[in-house]
Amino acid sequence: MSGRLEGKVAVITGTGRGMARQVALRFAAEGASVVGCDIDGEAAEETLQEVRAAGGRMESLHPIDLTDEESAHRLFEFAAEQYGGVDILDNNAMQHRMGAIEDLSLADWQLTMDHTLTLHFLTTKHAIPHLRARGGGSIIFMGSISGSAVGSGYAGNLPINQPYSVAKAGILRLVVALANELAPARIRVNAISPGCVATPLGLAFFGPTGSPVRRVIEDSLLIPELAAPEDIANAALFLASDESTFVTGLDLAVDGGYLAAGGGGLTRPEDVAAYAPKMAEITVVDHWKTSGVRASQPTGGSRS
């Protein structure tokens, strides 16, 4: 299937790198006219040229700091001037500082709130009039499993991501509030909550397969590997397209089963073995014979 966004105009924030760059490439490949932006002008220009080289339609406003309200307003005026309106807003732009609460400076806390939560308030506020003018549309927020009420917000319950977790929890609450507020205007509002993603920056932080940092992540998942940026772009495409016209207020977790497992990962064989004798004492097993069925062995959760 192709052309799923034909005739649509999509504003994507933070297109300089990572997931947002992949979303820009995917939306343009599906026929959207894309408007990107980033505070890093050089990286934003790289994405712009990459999308155009692939045959996509894209303009970009960079460098731009979307925590400045006048700049946020200018982004959507720019999009309307370039392509006549706005149908989709995909909120990706983000900066944050990591740390435990007691070790964090006020400046780092404020930077994270401004660039992870307030920024998206401003972009959405100034997108809404343009979406109303089109008779509806789709707003997508980049949430995170960190914003869910599961542990500390980071694999292994490590206290390293606290301000980001609080900001992303605010994003998820904002999604539900806006879904209610904007439903009469036929504007759908949803979130994507990724787990840990194999972006260039992510790989630099998580390290190679088998590293101690990578192991903490993968041990928390039912699919024990990092997400690919394409996984996030696929989810964004669904929420941006007409295939999701009856979907609003959703937090779509693209997390390898992190939330479903409560951050605990796959069941460990040694844990099953520890419980097996006691369960044998208290359980009556009703086995039914089957024929022609051969059990397959798991391959470790890797995807083709």
Q: Which residue has the tokens 């982004």?
A: 75
- Residue 256, class by beta-carbon neighbours within 10 Å (0-12 exposed, 13-18 middle, 19+ buried)? buried
**How many residues does the structure list for the chain?**
304
Question: What span, in angstroms and rounded, lies between the C-alpha atoms of 238 and 38?
Answer: 24
Q: What share of the chain is helix, strand, coil (3-state, %, to 5)?
A: 45, 15, 40
**What tokens does 21 get?**
């760059």
Query: Is residue 164 among the annotated active site residues?
Result: yes
The sheet with strand 251-254 has its strands ordered as 57-61, 33-37, 9-13, 88-91, 137-142, 187-194, 251-254
| Residue of 122, 182, 112 whose CA lies nearest to 144 | 112
Write down the catalytic residue from 83, 154, 164, 258: 164
**Residues 6+ away with beta carbon under 8 Å from 50:** 21, 25
User: Which of 259, 115, 251 minimizes the C-alpha distance to 172?
Assistant: 251
Q: Which residues are known catalytic residues?
A: 164
